[in-house]
Amino acid sequence: MKSFVLLILTTTGLLAALAPPPAAAATTAAGRPNILFIMTDDHAAHAISAYGSVVNQTPHLDRLAKEGVRFDRCFAVNSICTPSRATILTGKYSHINGVTVFNRFDGSQPTVAKHLQAAGYHTGMIGKWHLGSQPTGFDHWTILPGQGVYFNPTFLVPEGKTQIQGYVTDIITDLAIDFLKNRPTNQPFFLMCHHKAPHRSWDPDEKHKAMFAGKHIPEPATLRDNYDGRTDALHENKQRVFYDLTRNDLKLVPPAELTGQARNQWLNVKPTEVEIEVNGQKKVLTGDELNAWKYQRYMQDYLACVQSVDDNVGRLLAWLDAAGLRDNTLVIYTSDQGFFLGDHGLYDKRFMYEPSIHMPFIVRWPGVVHPATTTDAMAINPDFAPTFMAAAGLPVPPDMQGRSLLPVLQGRTPADWRHSFYYRYYHDPGDHNTRAHYGVRTDTHKLIYFWKKDQYELYDLRNDPGEMHNLYNEPAQAEVIAGLKTELLRLKHDLNDTDQWALQPPPDPGVDGPFPDKSTNQPAAKKP
Ligand code: CA
């Protein structure tokens, strides 16, 4: 049976070499798969019904999960847009690829797009890029400048700029399909299709806005979290649904007489009372009634943007089907990080808490991935580039810090697969006053260190998946904490993240023996 399959592949390869393949050829040169990487911006896994969402239904993403594998533990190692994109391209952590915050990506460094292009892939980048420099390693690119806009967006192309009328999610899908239609069919393709949605300011198109207008969205259990027992970080942060959404976020309409700067000032106010109309009657909302209304307004718009993404993923999958490309195309759906959907009272991301770092990651690859499966294998975004390399049959460059997920995709998670990963967020104080921190997440626990304040949080994820109970100061946890600090240090060392370690060695609270020797700034010897 095995040799029969090989014979078919060989024959197809010969035919491809002898004559131009038909336009709808399902296989590609040497049988290498096409790779379609669809990534959204800020789409939380808990707003996908395949992940158990209680707030929306996403039939097209669910279809992908039914036909592929759903990763339940995929994480961003620095949960913010630009660094995640640089990590995905390079397979490296922020301190190695140089993009820790919003700094410009140095496009002269190796990327997975360059490697695949050199190996004969036709490479494309469509949509949100957000890396400051021009794309390199792509045969074709059309990108949004910076964050881009939702309506009638301008795009950057190698020749300059072009503005396209319409809604950004529809347009990016159209451009992705154009790329696929116009590709050379004697090469496999690698396409990064990056949506702007559902990033703030959450501007839906009319069709999807209507689907969520007035719809009641269930509140998360931790919406009114009062941060008891947590460090200063949550208390001081400014990404709170009740207090930090602006009139612009809430889609309140400025008085007609306001123009220019006065209009912008009005829109940037974080309102403490709002006048709405109910059944033709005006009503002023304050206090918790206003808080509940703000959550609804935020989520209605966010979910309407997600619904357009889902429709457009469906459109792209249908196009692959019609073109006969389904069977030899590896399709991935992910987001550059997770997002708080009112969890802990928050919107946005940045923090090392689960809703922020958890990336949706769904992979369909007929004949390789078993349909309708899930995996708990811990994946991180530095793994994506090595995975693309391995899927293309190429060696993983030794300087990539992630690990190929290919065996996990094949249902054979290696015995030595990781059980922990290192996280680090740099932007401080940043747009939302979220303090810099780093930490380690294992299968069962999470230790977060807000190093500028020398404050720790410890969570037992088995008993407290919502991360409400900081156990760091409980004497019974001393051994767990010591073990996590050892692991944190091991990961930092292995990943060559030595700067904070050297500059700001954490103090010795009695249980952090493995932290650096302050006299030499060298790591202390590991306990046997
Ligand atoms: Ca993002």
Q: What is the predicted pLDDT for the residue at 20?
A: 35
For residue 284, the surrounding DSSP H or E stretch is strand 281-285
Q: What is the predicted pLDDT for the residue at 451?
A: 87
Distance 20 CA to ligand 1 centre (A): 41
Question: What's the rounded Cα separation, in Å, for the pair 472 and 456?
Answer: 6
For residue 191, the surrounding DSSP H or E stretch is strand 189-194
Distance 385 CA to ligand 1 centre (A): 18
Distance 388 CA to ligand 1 centre (A): 21
Kindly list the domain boundaries of the chain, sorted by start residue: 215-297
Q: Which two tokens stand for residue 233?
A: 């970080």
Given a cut of 50, the residues of the chain with pLDDT beneath it are: 1-30, 501-528
Distance 336 CA to ligand 1 centre (A): 5
Q: What is the predicted pLDDT for the residue at 16?
A: 34
Task: Tell me the backbone φ, ψ of residue 332, rounded to 5 degrees.
Answer: -120, 135
Distance 299 CA to ligand 1 centre (A): 17
Q: What is the predicted pLDDT for the residue at 499?
A: 66
Question: What's the rounded Cα separation, in Å, for the pair 388 and 404?
Answer: 8
- pTM of the complete model: 0.90
- The amino acid occupying position 487 is E
- Eight-class DSSP state of 289: H
Decide: helix, strand or coil at residue 394: coil
Distance 80 CA to ligand 1 centre (A): 5
Q: What is the predicted pLDDT for the residue at 504?
A: 46
Distance 164 CA to ligand 1 centre (A): 23
Closest by CA position to 67, among listed 372, 301, 431, 518? 372
Distance 130 CA to ligand 1 centre (A): 10
